[in-house]
Structure 1
Amino acid sequence: MRIALFATCLADAMFPRAAQATVVLLERLGHEVVFPSGQTCCGQMHVNTGYQREALPVVEHHVDVFETALRPRAQGGDGVEAVVAPSGSCVGSVRHQHAVVARRMAEQGRADTGLAARAEAVAAKTYELSELLVDVLGVTDVGARYPHRVTYHPTCHSLRMLRVDDKPLRLLRAVHGLDLVELPDAEQCCGFGGTFSVKNADTSTAMLADKIRAVQTTRSEVVTAGDSSCLMHIGGGLSRLRVGTKTVHLAEILAGEGWEAAL
């Protein structure tokens, strides 16, 4: 399959390994990965903080870039069949916010009336990594080896917006050598929530403390998740405690130990 990578701005600016590992993993499975160079932010941070008017050009640009990627090569596109992102929150924004923003702005005369339908068409082909692997490619054992004790944190957007359910866990259970330990109260939020952690710092810190206590009970070497933003928050708390537990994106584990050699 020919697949377009939506790297996300967070991966581009701070956590490139998640995007790189996604490419290594998919290519190892025999798929061709295309990187549409015009991509930028999905606009989630604008929408989540109430700036829908400002989000509109970002949403429109995202639709333009990936609509072109999904167009057949004979029609000037990249001929991809799907778009993948190593981020549940960004895919959640594409699926659940883009068309809503487009419709509201169209009602105000600020957007083309056809943008919402175009956004929905792109969203229908956009997948979070575990969704793409399990639902589209029909894979649970990706042939990875990762001999470490690992616990999994289901991020809020992947769990509640995308409803990926146990797909990440099914993928992790099939990783050779991996000792998967259940995280107590796994469905509780880590407290990040983008600007929530800034505007409601005390509440966010308390939620993070609960999450870190749960992680510590597992005695895991690694905490993994499908969103770099949540891992950044959890990792910051763990690093301050100097407990030795590190955070690793799901894509890196599925790419297998030593995946960097394939770059």
Structure 2
Amino acid sequence: MDQAAPRVALFATCLVDLIRPRIGFAAVAALEAAGCAVIVPDGQTCCGQPALNSGDRDNAAAIAKRMIALLEPYEHIVVPSGSCAGTIRCHYPELFEHDAEWGPRADALAARTFEIMAYLDEVRGWRPEGVTLDATAAYHDSCSGLRELGIKRQPRRLLGAIDGLALTPLAGEETCCGFGGTFCVKYPAISNAIVEEKAQAIEATGADLLLAGDLGCLMNMAGKLNRRGAPVRAFHAIELIAGMGDGPAIGEER
């Protein structure tokens, strides 16, 4: 690895670690292809998003302090999730805005934290090379990535470099899928109605694949598509970008 390569800490996220480690391996592969020295820091845990979303600011702050101390030695922190990246970039500074010690540390970490597709596209200026996949895909813009971080064009530019992959328009591509973290637990009937509409829109595209940048959203949509018997396979976009789009889709692992 080039000595000038940035030292990038991969914050894997809970869902990737527990449900779909393949996304983490794809993230490492893509970052290394983009010239980064990738470290996966030991001891990383939840970013605190569930506690924060539930109004438990004390526990969210305690978790955030631990993660700030763990991640601040690294030049860049890259996250394969818009919601977790948004928690660090947008909400850590809010948690500590009146804290003379932790506020500046949270601000500094936030400025060096990126959602992975934004990092590859905007910071590294990288495009996948030699990746081929003959398929049609619909892309869902997950809420936190889109609204907190402006993740929209970046994944489409990266996916556009994959030979044979065609992106087809998805009606309501910016509309919530109904997951919403703890929302789907607190309001299951509403969540189910929302994802039912989303699944119908995905099926109407005739796409082979469903892509997004947040595993929680993908699990929600893939589960509904599977229960409907729809022949649409779901992947995190970084899996395709890293050339891993020929493996098992979300929900197909055994």
TM-score exceeds 0.5: yes
What's the offset of the Cα at 1:142? 4.6
Contact kept in structure 2, 1:144 and 1:175, CA below 8 Å: yes
Tell me the distance in 2 between the aligned counterparts of 1:204 and 1:139: 36
Q: Give 1:153's aligned residue.
A: 140
What's the offset of the Cα at 1:259? 7.9
1:103-142 counterparts in 2 under 5 A? Answer: 103=97, 106=99, 113-142=100-129
Contact kept in structure 2, 1:151 and 1:182, CA below 8 Å: yes
What's the offset of the Cα at 1:38? 2.0
Q: Give 1:182's aligned residue.
A: 169
What's the offset of the Cα at 1:258? 6.5
Q: 1:93 to 1:142 in 2, by over 3 A?
A: farther
Contact kept in structure 2, 1:252 and 1:259, CA below 8 Å: no
Q: Please tell me the residue identity of whatever aligns with 1:134.
A: D
What's the offset of the Cα at 1:167? 1.0
Q: Give the gaps of 5 or more residues in structure 2.
A: 248-254
Tell me the distance in 2 between the aligned counterparts of 1:200 and 1:246: 26
Q: 1:222 to 1:258 in 2, by over 3 A?
A: closer
Q: Please tell me the residue identity of whatever aligns with 1:49.
A: S
SS state of the match for residue 117, structure 1? helix
Match of 1:11 among 8, 16, 20: 16
Q: Give the gaps of 5 or more residues in structure 1.
A: 71-80, 107-112
SS state of the match for residue 163, structure 2? coil
What's the offset of the Cα at 1:134? 1.1
What's the offset of the Cα at 1:30? 3.0
1:45 partnered with 2:28: no
Tell me the distance in 2 between the aligned counterparts of 1:28 and 1:237: 34
Q: Give 2:94's aligned residue.
A: 100
Q: Please tell me the residue identity of whatever aligns with 1:94.
A: I
What's the offset of the Cα at 1:102? 2.1
Q: Give 1:76's aligned residue.
A: none
1:37-90 alpha-carbon deviations (Å, 9 max, x no partner): 12111101110010001111100011001112x2xxxxxxxxxx2111100000
1:33 partnered with 2:38: yes
Q: 1:117 to 1:255 in 2, by over 3 A?
A: same
Select the structure that is richer in helix.
1
1:1-263 counterparts in 2 under 5 A? Answer: 1=5, 2-68=7-73, 70=74, 81-103=75-97, 106=99, 113-257=100-244
Q: 1:122 to 1:142 in 2, by over 3 A?
A: farther
Contact kept in structure 2, 1:146 and 1:257, CA below 8 Å: no
State percent identity of aligned pairs.
39
Q: Give 1:74's aligned residue.
A: none
Contact kept in structure 2, 1:150 and 1:180, CA below 8 Å: yes
SS state of the match for residue 96, structure 2? helix
Tell me the distance in 2 between the aligned counterparts of 1:33 and 1:203: 40
Contact kept in structure 2, 1:151 and 1:224, CA below 8 Å: yes
Q: 1:45 to 1:245 in 2, by over 3 A?
A: same
Contact kept in structure 1, 2:128 and 2:241, CA below 8 Å: no
- Number of matched residues? 242
Q: Please tell me the residue identity of whatever aligns with 2:83.
A: S
